[in-house]
A and B are shown apart, each in its own frame.
Chain A
Amino acid sequence: MSDRIIDQTAAELSAGIREGRYTSVEVTTAFLDRIDAIDGTVKAFLHVDREGALATAAEVDADIAAGKETFALAGVPIAIKDVVVTKGMPTTAASKILEGWIPPYDATIVERIKTARMPILGKTNMDEFAMGSSTEYSAYGKTLNPWDTGRIPGGSGGGSAAAVAAKMAPLAIGTDTGGSIRQPGAVTGTFGAKPTYGSNSRYGLIAFSSSLDTPGPVARNALDAALLHEAISGHDPRDSTAIDAPVPPVVAAARAGATGDLSGVKLGVVKEFKEGSDAAEPGVIAAYEAAVEQLVKLGAEIVEVSCPSFAYALPTYYLIAPSEASSNLARYDGVRYGLRAGDDGKHSLEEVMSLTREAGFGPEVKRRIILGTYALSAGYVDAFYGKAQKVRTLIKQDFEQAFESVDAIISPTTPFVAFKFGERTGDPYQMYLADLYTIPSNLYGGPGVSVPVGLSEGMPVGLQVMGPVMGDDITYRVAAAFESTQDTLLADTAPEIEGK
């Protein structure tokens, strides 16, 4: 184990800061310097706030020096996906249409990060408005996968995953609508958790698909993610869909899992996932199956469950998400904030709105807006959007039923390892397949985590653990149990990145 600050986990950093082994300013500086050194190559960040991060770090150091009580993660720096609104700090959702926008308010989870006194390093790159699985659809250039800079870092949260994978941040915030935390986690060898929908506030999360979006933690292991999860979770009266119930004890679960005991835990394997696995690469299946063997050795029982509607999850998702998005993105019209195009005194407002949206949105966003507009339009709404909502009910019922007989469900996180740039941008449907296994938990609302379990073709593979609604703790326990079987974190074995 290296002595470098940037190699430490968030839990180690937190303890080190508290115990005076290093200051938060030293820790924060180490990560900022790392960003300076290699982000020219990786391009995980859209905005870096050295001054702000160091100011928060100095406050924490002063408090600790004065013997004041601090939060668990106080002084541990964090990167935030650019889809989360940060007061006074540019927030673009990686779109031209929000270029230069400085929000006048903070998202609830950002308020909580500030309350916990975590220095905010900056904002990370992503697919525009979180629509994509490769971060290639960012309006500000692509982020590279630290494991192989010729490959995608996953998406939409490729920036957050790459930042953690390349040790430019010990922790990051992601958002997950169909897999945008878990799939980037899987392909960069990092840990990502999509919490139960409604257990983390969406207030200040730039909406893609309101009934699916969920913010969550990105980290190097389960315990770090759990610490961040607890720091940002909990009821928020500003989000009408927020669940008013205690946060599942994920930190305790991660610690319990780390003991390596899964006896009595029933893990479901979905029959239809397997049957539909022709999309999955053999190397991914192999790494996944090896991981399952490890879990069995820890005492877990594998039970086959059936979710007959699984085959319809992908089309269901790709009707619901674009439909909601087409409405959520209507507000970007060049009137109150963001880009305005074509206002030359000749064009009417209606024309200026259209020109603004044409200039401001990238191709994938436009494609989904048109798709969603179609699915909601008169004459098609019953056959598409309405039908998808009903099939969603069946998918929910399938999973609810499955969770009556198992504690958690496992699967590969994504069917393939990080693919090469440009490989799937020409065929949107091939890109959508990346989310095949992650979409169901967004549809039924439950938690899902992705934990790195091995390599295929030298690239990381993730195991997904899904739980029932508000059963986030079991997903952390299973993931942490797997981690206990490994000598080193996969994240620590990534090739060293050369700075430019």
Chain B
Amino acid sequence: MSKLNTYEDAVAAYEPVLGLETHIELDTRTKMFCGCSTTFGGEPNTQVCPVCLALPGALPVANRAAIEATIKIGLALNCSIAEWTRFARKNYFYPDMPKNFQTTQYEEPLCEEGYVDVTVDGKPYRVEIERVHLEEDTGKTLHVGGATGRIHGATESLVDYNRAGIPLVEIVTKPVPGTGALAPEVARAYVTELRDIVRSLGVSDVRMEQGSMRCDVNLSLNKPGAEWGTRTETKNVNSLRSVERAVRHEVRRQSALLDEGIKIIQETRHFQEGTGETSPGRSKEEATDYRYFPEPDLAVMEPSREWVEELRASLPEPPRQRRERLQAEWSLADKEMQSVVNADAVELIESTIAAGAASSSAVKWWLGELSRRANEAGEELGALQITPAQVAELQGMVDDGRLNDKLARQVIDGVLVGEGSPAEVAQKRGLEVVSDTGALEAAVDEAIAANPAVADKIRGGAHAAAGVLIGAVMKATKGQADAGSVRQIILDKLAG
């Protein structure tokens, strides 16, 4: 267990320099170099062929859709697109990599020199992108016999090659200096923005929890004004929160070593989800030598400028710009918009508005009641069993006076457990505002008779006291009355 400084002490003494390498699995229908399906969760070794199993004699052919998706990502990250680019082989042995080389890109990536702008604590940061290139994913290895399915202590492993050969886009930032104490937040904001950009392009589902987006965090520390320090590369960082935690932990760990005059060694570390710490990979016998060389089995690529412009024209509005536009349209304060973004509710609210709800109502439902339900269930907001259209329908019923807020919440109960649309739930559960005036008047009369003192006060002009009578009426009608109507009836009856 390594010694740690407090985060505050660490960033007071050292300046962090960040770097992020992100891998994104594309959701093309077929793999990068063969026609096998990429569907997630298939039975083991059912989505494999001579090419992705690296059988002797098999040859790769590049998937045009993957090239297009990569160019789109590059364009969305403000990169320039190579006029001449090719694949290369990265040679090293690993059992879930069938050819024992990875087909990737080396000196000539598809996209270079871009940037992503993020805002943290109201301050803008520009994260510069060094390169975006295309490669292939590995298979998946199941470690057997160890304590927790981890590699250490396992007695054997089982390999499934369904994932081998799925197109993978690697996005590498340039070193990001100058973030100071905000390094963890900037790292998280960058990864979040990158995820939103890629999601908006519709080329990947970018789900960190399913592994379709994976992050490596590079970090070094230096004394103010000194040269940049030696960096470590932390792998296995597989949630937005982990990105933040991994940076924070490395800052604390490295600073403690540096304080003692110990040099940081350039190494690969692994993030441990459980403890939030990083641990070293086994030290290598000798330096890795990947022996890159141009892939002789694939043709070079020269994306035509017409093709690139066509793809550029097809890009959606950038998420950041879109957020700014929506914030204005929805009249939200910065803080509120931030909550919407944090809750991952932008699309949900937008769809709810598109289905007919007012923006204020849409925001209110998703950030209020529905966020609360999601929290209780430990689910993402988007995973709740209610659609934006249903939320709009619910709000419509409130607007029509058929539901009040309390009833609406009960309707949500039904929708979430699959009882049907809001209208169906209201009908099935008998959840309608009582609008029969005769019944309401009778209930009011009863309440007046039971509370003569209160009635007198109201007659005397103390309208605020009507609340007691309203409460009694609501109780009598089991909440199925519209409080506004009840109040009006009471005031009418007790008017001078």
Contacts and interface: CB of A to CB of B under 8 A. Distances in A.
Given A104-B50, A237-B61, A327-B91, A85 B297 contact: no
B159 interface: yes
Interface in B184-206: none
Interface residues of A, number: 43
B293 A327 contact: yes
A327 B161 CA distance: 20
A294 interface: no
A385 interface: yes
Interface string A35-47: 0000000000000
B57 A207 contact: yes
B59 A330 contact: no
B359 interface: no
B53 A330 contact: no
A85 B157 CA distance: 29
Contact of B157 (A202, A240, A349): A349
Contact of B57 (A203, A333, A350): A203
Interface string B385-422: 00000000000000000000000000000000000000
Contacts of B341: none
B311 interface: no
Given A206-B56, A240-B298, A335 B95 contact: yes
B293 A206 contact: no
Given A241-B297, A327-B89, A327-B291, A85 B57 contact: yes
A331 interface: yes
Interface in A166-224: 202-207, 210-211
A98 interface: yes
A445 to B, nearest CB: 12
| A contact face: mostly helix, strand, loop, or mixed | loop
B196 to A, nearest CB: 35
B250 to A, nearest CB: 28
A203 B59 contact: yes
B40 interface: no
Nearest to B157: A349
Interface in B246-301: 289, 291-293, 296-299
Interface in B142-188: 157, 159, 161
Contact of A385 (B159, B293, B299): B293
Nearest to A110: B57
A93 B56 contact: yes
B356 interface: no
A387 to B, nearest CB: 13
Contacts of A211: 296
A240 B297 contact: yes
Interface string A317-360: 00000011011001111011100000000000110010000000
Contacts of B159: 335
A308 to B, nearest CB: 26
A84 B61 CA distance: 19
Interface stretch (B98-106, B114-122, B217-225): B98-106
Contacts of A327: 89, 91, 101, 291, 293
Contacts of A330: 91, 93, 99-101
Interface bracket on B: 20 to 34
A207 B53 CA distance: 15
B434 interface: no
A240 B56 contact: no
A378 B289 contact: yes
A297 interface: no
A238 B33 CA distance: 10
Given A333-B100, A349-B157, A205 B293 contact: no
B57 A206 contact: yes
B291 A238 contact: no
A336 B293 contact: no
B59 A238 contact: yes
Contacts of B297: 207, 210, 240-241
B59 A240 contact: yes
Contacts of B89: 327
A101 to B, nearest CB: 8
B423 interface: no
B58 interface: yes
Nearest to B291: A376
Contacts of B54: 331, 336
B25 to A, nearest CB: 22
A58 interface: no
B60 interface: yes
B491 interface: no
Given A211-B296, A335-B159, A353-B93, A238 B57 contact: no
Contacts of B474: none
Query: Which of B99, B296, B297 is most buried by chain A, counting CB atoms within 10 A of its CB?
Result: B296
A105 interface: yes
Contacts of B494: none
A239 B54 CA distance: 14
B291 A377 contact: yes
Interface in A83-133: 84-85, 91, 93, 98, 101, 103-105, 107
A145 interface: no
Given A238-B61, A333-B100, A323 B293 contact: yes
A470 B415 CA distance: 69
A237 B60 CA distance: 10
B328 interface: no
B55 interface: yes
A373 B57 CA distance: 21
Contacts of B161: 336
A240 B61 contact: yes
Contacts of A206: 56-57
B82 interface: no
Contacts of A323: 293
Contact of A105 (B50, B95, B157): B50
A381 interface: yes
B270 to A, nearest CB: 19
B105 to A, nearest CB: 15
Given A91-B56, A385-B293, A241 B100 contact: no
Contact of A202 (B59, B61, B93): B59
Interface string A359-399: 00000000000000100111001000100000000000000
Contacts of A207: 56-57, 297
B62 interface: yes
B91 to A, nearest CB: 5
Contacts of A324: 293, 296
B51 to A, nearest CB: 8
Interface in A410-435: none
A218 B100 CA distance: 33
A207 B89 CA distance: 15
Contacts of B100: 330-331, 333
A188 to B, nearest CB: 26
A246 B159 CA distance: 43
Contacts of B291: 326-327, 373, 376-378, 381
The 4 A-B residue pairs with the shortest CB-CB distance in the complex, in nearest-first order = A330-B100, A376-B291, A210-B296, A211-B296
20 contacts: A204-B58, A210-B296, A240-B60, A240-B61, A327-B89, A327-B91, A327-B101, A327-B293, A330-B100, A330-B101, A331-B98, A331-B100, A333-B95, A335-B159, A336-B54, A349-B95, A350-B93, A353-B95, A377-B291, A378-B291
Given A104-B55, A240-B297, A381-B291, 20 more contacts: A85-B56, A85-B57, A98-B56, A202-B59, A203-B57, A204-B57, A238-B59, A239-B59, A240-B61, A240-B298, A324-B296, A330-B91, A330-B100, A331-B54, A331-B56, A331-B100, A332-B56, A336-B54, A336-B98, A353-B93
Interface of B: 50, 53-62, 89, 91, 93, 95, 98-101, 157, 159, 161, 289, 291-293, 296-299
